[in-house]
Amino acid sequence: MILNIFKPSTWTSFDVVKKIKNITKEKKVGHGGTLDPFAEGVLIIGTNVDTKKLSYISSSNKTYTATIKLGIHTDSFDCDGKILKTNEVPNLNKLKIKSVLQSFIGSYEHLPPMYSAKKKNGIRLYNYARNNIIVERDTIISQVEEINFISYNKDKIKFTVKCSSGTYIRSLAVDISKKLMTIGHLVELIRTEVGEFSINDSLTLKKFEEKWKFTKTSGK
């Protein structure tokens, strides 16, 4: 069984897996592509034999709607992190922002955030970060297929991006801020697509539970 679940903000991807396991009583449940706790949107869940499909699904292109807050840098590159630095936001206009966003289309080389599940010497980076240890990280090269400006209001930039698997949108937010001659961090992230799976077809956990219980009681 492959499920398109809407992960709510504050939940970890593993929290969703546990909830689905509790609802369905399936022995084997996994997810196809981690979403950060503050993020929300499409999380693909697989059960039993269909968990084998998850690695293929997670390798698909993904689409996000993201919001950057300029002028503040955090250790996690997002709103859950500790503020490390503040800076003035330069005078910006839509034309400048659109130009900078478009400059990221194509091959995108970036560093994974220290607060990430990437491993260094067999240890996940977030374990180093939690102990205030900064280690050298290998750069990641991914592909940005599309990036489109939505809005700019005072110190917040909202945009959509379609990119290859393994792209850290938190790093993209930091790099966009740098190109705009300031600092910034991600304050909102919504995953709207994973391959052919769309947020328009996602089920909230509540809806899935209701549907599952109805199916079981009706025998359908």
Q: Where are the domains of the chain?
A: 2-59+195-218, 65-153+165-188
Q: Average pLDDT of 81-109?
A: 95
pLDDT (tens digit per residue) in 176-193: 999 999 999 999 999 999
pLDDT of residue 24: 93
Class of domain 65-153+165-188: alpha beta
Question: Which of the residues are catalytic?
Answer: 36
pLDDT of residue 5: 97
Instruction: Give yes or no for residue 219 having a pLDDT over 70.
Output: no
What does DSSP assign to residue 186? E
Distance CA 134, CA 212 (A): 45
Q: How far is CA 164 from CA 7, 9, 57, 132, 142, in A?
A: 20, 23, 12, 30, 6
Q: Which fold has domain 2-59+195-218?
A: Pseudouridine synthase (3.30.2350)
Cβ-contact 115, 79 below 8 angstroms: no
Does residue 118 or residue 34 have the better pLDDT?
34
- Token pair for 134: 């900064």
- pTM, rounded to two decimals: 0.92
